[in-house]
Structure 1
Amino acid sequence: MKDFIHLKQENNLTTFHFVLLSIFTLDLYELLWIYKTNKTISNKTKIVVTGTQYPIIFL
Protein backbone atom coordinates (compact mmCIF):
# COMPACT_ATOMS: atom_id res chain seq x y z
CA MET A 1 0.00 0.00 0.00
CA LYS A 2 2.89 2.32 0.74
CA ASP A 3 4.15 1.90 -2.84
CA PHE A 4 0.82 3.03 -4.29
CA ILE A 5 0.83 6.20 -2.22
CA HIS A 6 4.39 6.91 -3.30
CA LEU A 7 3.55 6.32 -6.98
CA LYS A 8 0.59 8.70 -6.75
CA GLN A 9 2.78 11.37 -5.17
CA GLU A 10 5.42 11.01 -7.89
CA ASN A 11 2.79 11.29 -10.61
CA ASN A 12 1.31 14.48 -9.10
CA LEU A 13 -1.00 15.25 -12.04
CA THR A 14 -4.69 15.95 -11.78
CA THR A 15 -7.16 14.70 -14.36
CA PHE A 16 -8.03 18.24 -15.41
CA HIS A 17 -4.38 19.08 -16.17
CA PHE A 18 -3.90 15.78 -17.96
CA VAL A 19 -6.88 16.44 -20.24
CA LEU A 20 -5.79 20.02 -20.96
CA LEU A 21 -2.23 19.01 -21.75
CA SER A 22 -3.46 16.21 -23.98
CA ILE A 23 -5.70 18.57 -25.93
CA PHE A 24 -3.05 21.27 -26.34
CA THR A 25 -0.33 18.85 -27.43
CA LEU A 26 -2.62 16.81 -29.70
CA ASP A 27 -2.30 13.73 -27.47
CA LEU A 28 1.50 13.65 -27.53
CA TYR A 29 1.52 14.35 -23.80
CA GLU A 30 -0.49 11.18 -23.28
CA LEU A 31 2.33 9.10 -24.76
CA LEU A 32 4.92 10.88 -22.64
CA TRP A 33 2.79 10.29 -19.55
CA ILE A 34 2.44 6.57 -20.36
CA TYR A 35 6.20 6.27 -20.80
CA LYS A 36 7.08 8.13 -17.59
CA THR A 37 4.43 6.39 -15.48
CA ASN A 38 5.45 2.93 -16.68
CA LYS A 39 9.09 3.75 -15.98
CA THR A 40 8.21 4.83 -12.43
CA ILE A 41 6.11 1.70 -11.83
CA SER A 42 8.89 -0.52 -13.14
CA ASN A 43 11.49 1.16 -10.93
CA LYS A 44 9.42 0.95 -7.75
CA THR A 45 7.76 -2.46 -8.10
CA LYS A 46 10.34 -4.23 -10.30
CA ILE A 47 7.45 -5.35 -12.55
CA VAL A 48 7.49 -4.41 -16.23
CA VAL A 49 4.00 -3.26 -17.22
CA THR A 50 4.78 -2.42 -20.84
CA GLY A 51 7.96 -2.15 -22.81
CA THR A 52 9.72 1.15 -23.40
CA GLN A 53 8.92 0.91 -27.11
CA TYR A 54 5.15 0.86 -26.47
CA PRO A 55 4.58 4.65 -26.85
CA ILE A 56 6.60 4.65 -30.08
CA ILE A 57 4.56 1.78 -31.52
CA PHE A 58 1.34 3.43 -30.31
CA LEU A 59 2.34 6.66 -32.04
Structure 2
Amino acid sequence: MSNDFCPYCNTNLQGETIPKESQKAYGATHFTRKIGITSIEADRFIKWQCPDCNKEWQRD
Protein backbone atom coordinates (compact mmCIF):
# COMPACT_ATOMS: atom_id res chain seq x y z
CA MET A 1 0.00 0.00 0.00
CA SER A 2 1.44 3.34 -0.98
CA ASN A 3 -0.11 5.33 1.86
CA ASP A 4 -0.15 3.42 5.16
CA PHE A 5 -1.08 6.41 7.34
CA CYS A 6 -3.90 8.98 7.30
CA PRO A 7 -2.53 12.35 6.14
CA TYR A 8 -4.69 14.09 8.77
CA CYS A 9 -4.65 12.06 11.99
CA ASN A 10 -1.66 9.83 11.14
CA THR A 11 -3.49 6.64 12.14
CA ASN A 12 -2.17 3.40 10.69
CA LEU A 13 -4.40 2.34 7.78
CA GLN A 14 -2.92 -1.14 7.33
CA GLY A 15 -5.61 -3.72 7.91
CA GLU A 16 -5.62 -7.39 8.82
CA THR A 17 -3.27 -9.86 7.15
CA ILE A 18 -4.63 -11.43 3.97
CA PRO A 19 -4.55 -15.25 4.22
CA LYS A 20 -1.39 -16.61 2.53
CA GLU A 21 -3.36 -18.54 -0.09
CA SER A 22 -5.14 -15.33 -1.23
CA GLN A 23 -2.22 -12.88 -1.17
CA LYS A 24 -1.30 -13.52 -4.81
CA ALA A 25 -4.86 -12.73 -5.97
CA TYR A 26 -4.86 -9.44 -4.02
CA GLY A 27 -1.28 -8.54 -4.90
CA ALA A 28 -0.74 -7.57 -1.25
CA THR A 29 -0.06 -9.04 2.18
CA HIS A 30 -2.56 -6.91 4.13
CA PHE A 31 -6.01 -5.46 3.63
CA THR A 32 -6.44 -1.69 3.90
CA ARG A 33 -8.58 0.24 6.36
CA LYS A 34 -9.00 3.16 3.91
CA ILE A 35 -12.57 3.69 2.71
CA GLY A 36 -12.81 4.17 -1.04
CA ILE A 37 -15.11 6.94 -2.30
CA THR A 38 -16.32 6.17 -5.83
CA SER A 39 -17.68 8.21 -8.70
CA ILE A 40 -20.40 6.68 -10.86
CA GLU A 41 -19.34 8.89 -13.78
CA ALA A 42 -15.65 8.01 -13.49
CA ASP A 43 -16.43 4.37 -12.53
CA ARG A 44 -13.51 4.27 -10.09
CA PHE A 45 -12.29 5.35 -6.67
CA ILE A 46 -11.72 9.12 -6.68
CA LYS A 47 -10.98 9.74 -2.98
CA TRP A 48 -10.06 7.92 0.21
CA GLN A 49 -11.59 8.40 3.66
CA CYS A 50 -10.04 7.64 7.03
CA PRO A 51 -12.23 5.33 9.16
CA ASP A 52 -11.02 7.06 12.34
CA CYS A 53 -11.19 10.83 11.67
CA ASN A 54 -13.56 10.66 8.62
CA LYS A 55 -11.42 13.16 6.64
CA GLU A 56 -11.10 12.62 2.88
CA TRP A 57 -8.19 13.06 0.49
CA GLN A 58 -7.62 12.66 -3.23
CA ARG A 59 -6.54 9.33 -4.59
CA ASP A 60 -2.90 9.19 -5.76
More helix by share: 1
TM-score, normalisation: structure 1? 0.24
Where relative contact order (Cα < 8 A, 6+ residues apart) is larger, the structure is 1
TM-score, normalisation: structure 2? 0.24
More strand by share: 2
